[in-house]
Structures are given as C-alpha cells and as structure tokens.
Amino acid sequence: MSRDGLIVVDKPGGITSHDVVARIRRLAGTRRVGHGGTLDPMATGVLVLGVGRATRLLTYVIGADKSYTATIRLGQATVTDDAEGDVIATTPAGTLTDEAIRAALTALTGELDQVPSAVSAIKINGRRAYKRVRDGEAVDLPARRVTVSRLDVLALRRDQPDVVDVDVDVSCSTGTYIRAVARDAGLSLGVGGHLTALRRTAVGGFTLAEATTLDELEQRAPEVVGLPLAVAAERFFPRRDATADEAKVLSHGGPLDAVGVAGPYAVFDPAGGLIAIVSERTGRARAEVVLAPA
C-alpha cells in the first residue's frame, strides 16, 4: 500500500488535532503528516490527514466546505463560547418560543460577517488568539465573511427549566465557527448561548461513513493510509489524462495547453499516476503543485 495519501480519521473528543497528527506520525513512521482543518479538543468527527506527498493536497482540503451536527445551549454564555469555558452569564431561556429560536437561527444563514470566537486558533501578530486570552489579554478579532449554506434545526429540548438545547445540522464554508453561531444566536435572543457538542460529519466529499478511528488505525499500522495519493486526488478534483509527452513536460514544471476545464484539476500520466494539480489561465494549464515522484 502507498505510504503517500490521505487518512479520514474519526477524531475522538478530549484531544487536539495536533495530538492526532502526532499519533499518525508514530503509526506511519514518518514526520511528514499534517491535517486539513483544526477541530477543537471538545469536537469529534472528520479530520482529514495527509501523509507524505499528500500533505501538499491539504491546502485544498482546508478550503473545502464543512458539515457538522451540534448542540447549542441557550440561556448560558461562556468565555470560550463552548462547554469547555466557564459560564460568564446566565439568563433564563425557558420562555423562548420555538418560533423565536428558529427565526434567530435562520437569520444566521447565508453570507455573514462573523466575528470568530476569541478563544480560537487564529494568529494575532504570530501568536494564537486562545493563548493571548489565557494570558489575560483582551482579544478583538475582526469579522470575516463566511457562508452558512444550511442550518437545519433537528430538535429543541427543554430538559431543564432555564435553558433550551437546540440540536442542529450545519453546512458552511471554511473558516466558519459553529461556536460563534451558538454565541450569536444567544445574543440575538438576549439570553446568551454556547456550544455543548460538536461533531464534524463531512469535509468536502469526505464523510464519517469512511472515517477510521485511531484504535482501528493502530491495528493497521504502519499501513494507515486509506486513500492513496492518486485515489485521493481523483476523489477531490476533476480529472485530466495526459499523454506521455505532456506528462514529461508537466512533471518538470512546464505548462500544458488549456482544455477548458474549470480548475484546479488533477492531471494523471498514461499509467494512472498523479502528476500535478493544475489551473488554467491565459490559455495555458500550469501546475499549482507538482506531485510526481522526483
């Protein structure tokens, strides 16, 4: 089995994305491992990892749309906008109607200027925002344009008198913070809100259905790659097949004639090997990333 490729991991709660990377480095026997989009320690679900040359595909994975299931608790605000932080405000939410809750969440769909949670991995002058918060600094992050393409309310639960738990299913652009959705819903309803559960169900076309647990990967080590490089690229990009001459030019960084395919797309050699990820501009197809073995 190829040692270059992607792994779709079902991340457990209680560990960081970097913890998962460290575990895969040990299992795969290489330090060339990265992940395609951070999940908070509390969160579970799809975490796409690249091994070997496939780490160069991760920039595209990071930019893919994401899907989540989550639980929003209305009636409590926390310092982190999720259940890992201390409660900083409590406002009884039991009198909120289902209609008001649904309307507040509907208002948080479409294109939004969202202020990320202060306790996030965003860097400010080279330091992560969450580290600055932990050091007692006040962090003011600028709003970012994100898209929440779908936000379905699955259930509203009133198991406690002063809070309402809302189970949601969300699809969104990269860079969207579901914690911020919970916070903003609570703010608009005047009761505060935070996230009590988060599970990522998809990254692009990679879903929980093909995700593997760390325990399962432990049993397979060192053959942990689930999607070899060429298979992963064909799953993620449109495909173009090159002639032998084209393959030689492209593998050395040269351009090909454009074929009118909206890029980026993957180019394969006559044997089915992945050569490069290319995009077309000014009538030429130029490599963004060359992946053919040196």
Query: What is d(CA 201, CA 140) in angstroms, rounded to the nearest whole number?
Result: 30
Q: Can you spell out the DSSP letters for 94-142?
A: TT--HHHHHHHHHTT-EEEEEPPPSSSS-EETTEEHHHHHHTT----PP
**Catalytic-labelled residue, pool 4, 40, 82, 269:** 40
Q: Is 215 a catalytic residue?
A: no
Residue 24: other Cβ atoms inside 10 A: 24
Closest C-alpha among 61, 4, 12 to residue 40: 12
Which class for 212: exposed (0-12), middle (13-18), buried (19 or more C-beta within 10 A)?
Answer: middle
Q: How many Å apart are CA 54 and CA 60, to the nearest integer?
A: 11
Q: How many helices (H) and strands (E) does the chain have?
A: 8, 19
Distance CA 181, CA 122 (A): 17
- Work out the angle at residue 164's Cα, subtended by the Cα atoms of residues 161 and 169, and round it to the nearest 5 degrees: 160
Annotate 147-169 with b (16+ C-beta within 10 A) or e (fewer). bbeebeeeebeeeeeebbbbbbe
Q: Say which DSSP state 160 is in.
A: S
Residue 145 corresponds to which tokens in the numbers above? Answer: 């344009």
Nearest to 226 by CA among 69, 46, 50: 50
- How far apart CA 82 and CA 42 sit, in angstroms, is 9
Residues serving a catalytic function are 40
